[in-house]
Each structure stands twice: as C-alpha cells, then as structure tokens.
Amino acid sequence: MRNHLQLTPGWKRLVAISLPLLVGVGAVVGAHLYVSAGSPAAAAAAPVAPANPSLDVPAPAGLLVDVIGAVAQPGLYRMKRGDRVYDAIAAAGGLTTDADPTKLPNLAGRLKDGEQIKVPFAKGAPGGTVISRTNLNFATLEELAVVPGFSEAFAQEVIDYRTNFGGFQSTRELVTVLGMSESDYVVARRYLTL
C-alpha cells in the first residue's frame, strides 16, 4: 500500500518554527481568558452578589442622642449620621435663657450613637434642678398634652383608660397597656407621678 500523503520538502523546519508560535499565541489567549473570567478558586470563594443590592441592604439607622439641661425640650432625639452637637441642641428646641454660654459643649463636635449632650445651667438659674411632675391619675387633658413624649391624642387615651379602668398602678402601664414607644416613655417618665 502506498502512502498518499505527501509532505512538502522542508516541512520539518516549518513545523519547528510554527509550533512554538502557536503555543505562544494559545498561552496568551488562555491567560487573557483566565484573568478576565477570574480564577476558579476565587470565583468559588467569592460570595454571589444579590440581584438588587439596594433591596437587600438595610438603610443605615440614625443616631439616638440624649439632650439634657438648659434646652427647651430635653429628651431623646433621633439624628442623622454626620450631624453635629448644635443640630441636637436645635432639635431639642434650642438653648433656654438659663443656659450658661461659657460652659457649652463643643457645638461643632460630631454626634455619636448613645451620646448624652449636657447643656449646663447658669449659676443661680432657677430652672436648674426643678422638674414639675404631672399626676397621671388626676391631670387634665391640657396638662397631659404638654408632657414631653405625649400628643393630644395620646393624652386623651390616658384619660379614657383611667376613666374606664380606675387609673394607673404604675407609669410603666403607658408602654405595656397603651402602647407608648419605649423612647417616648424614657422621656415622659421624668415628668410624671402617680
């Protein structure tokens, strides 16, 4: 049997030159595909990104700060991240006339979650330590409506509850029975008595 395949003269030199070129081109193409697709080990270890990350990531919560002292409405305030001390004081109604302007906290300081801002009273200021308390079982609608943390509607709920059930045994019943928020209760309990 005769071999029908005929090779051109000098084919060994052609193979010797073209084979390394083909291997080199293949290596470059393979490296490019490997880098653009990422390594298999990195792809297996990397977490899969959600389809819509804006729906799966919760919105950052604000800061909760406590403003006390010589401000119009002391209490807990929810502030935005990046707000300054002067923003918290403004949210609390601003400084009262009893505030000591020489001993104010750093108004330009950034707020931190859980921080307490103390605005000192001037020496001899009458409002420094006196907190008037409202009796939860005997106060009128108008007296209850001005308690920090109360609204007029909530004050009416308090009066309705005390009329129907004979009054409160504890101020904590505002949360457990009437559903007042914990943050409002923390502020309001300083101004209430039984």
Cα(194)–Cα(137) distance, integer angstroms: 6
Same domain for 111 and 142, yes or no, is no
Same domain for 115 and 67, yes or no, is yes
Q: Is residue 32 part of a domain?
A: yes
Give residue 5's pLDDT.
58
Give residue 126's pLDDT.
56
Count how many domains the chain has: 3
Strand partners, 68: 118
Q: Is residue 70 part of a domain?
A: yes
The enclosing domain of 146 has a CATH number of: 1.10.150
Determine whether 83 is exposed, middle or buried from the number of CB atoms within 10 Å of its CB (0-12, 13-18, 19+).
middle
Q: Is residue 2 part of a domain?
A: no
- Range of the structural domain that residue 31 is part of: 11-45
Same domain for 106 and 68, yes or no, is yes
Q: What is the per-residue pLDDT across 139-152, written as a single tens digit (0 to 9) for each?
A: 888 888 877 778 88
Task: Give ∠ CA 20-26-32 in degrees, rounded to 5.
Answer: 140
Q: Is residue 3 part of a domain?
A: no
Give residue 13's pLDDT.
75
Give residue 97's pLDDT.
80
Q: Is residue 111 part of a domain?
A: yes
Give residue 2's pLDDT.
60
Residue 32's Cα: distance from chain center in Å?
Answer: 44
**CB atoms near residue 77 (< 10 Å):** 23
Same domain for 108 and 85, yes or no, is yes
Q: Which residue, 68, 115, 114, is CA-closest to 93?
A: 68
In this prediction, the residues of the chain whose per-residue pLDDT falls under 50 are 42-43, 46, 53-58, 128-129
Give residue 51's pLDDT.
53
Q: Is residue 50 part of a domain?
A: no
Q: Is residue 54 part of a domain?
A: no
Same domain for 138 and 189, yes or no, is yes
Give residue 128's pLDDT.
47
Determine whether 149 is exposed, middle or buried from the number of CB atoms within 10 Å of its CB (0-12, 13-18, 19+).
buried
Same domain for 110 and 160, yes or no, is no
Q: Which residue, 92, 119, 94, 93, is CA-closest to 105?
A: 119
**Whether this model's pTM surpasses 0.85:** no
Q: Is residue 84 part of a domain?
A: yes
